[in-house]
Amino acid sequence: MQHETLQVLRDSSIVENVEDISFQGYEETFRLEARAILVNAWKLDVFIHRTEDRDRYSFHVSEDAELVVRWDNAPHHPGIRTHPYHRHENDEIHPSEEMDVRKVLREIGERMEQK
């Protein structure tokens, strides 16, 4: 069964191509890794690992080899008020709401419009 995240990526108007897909597991317990090439040539690397007791994610956007922004929920910044949810940008760590692929694509689209 195809995972919803992959379908959201494929249906997005800002995604040109989805490649490098690795999906293991089932609909509720799985590990997903994918790369989406965006219409402005940015790359979006998606990592989601969901188990019964853990839900980890990382959405990493890069231009060439440079980080544009990354959202993740790794518990390594306990001082952030939205811990474990945070955003990496401009060599800084910022608070973030819990993200999913729809929210990420919406925010990336807004950034593209501003650029």
pLDDT for the residue 58: 98
Range of the domain at 104: 4-114
Task: Give per-residue pLDDT as tens, 48-81.
Answer: 999 988 899 999 999 999 999 999 999 999 999 9
Count of domains for the chain: 1
- Indicate the SS3 state at residue 113: helix
Ranges of H-type helices in the chain: 4-11, 101-114
Handedness of CA 19, 7, 11, 43 (dihedral sign): negative
Kindly give, in sequence order, each residue whose CB lies less than 8 Å from that of residue 39, ignoring residues fewer than 6 positions away: 13, 14, 15, 16, 112
Sequential pLDDT tens for the chain (115 residues):
357 899 999 999 999 999 988 989 877 899 999 999 999 999 999 999 999 888 999 999 999 999 999 999 999 999 999 999 999 999 999 999 999 999 999 999 999 998 7
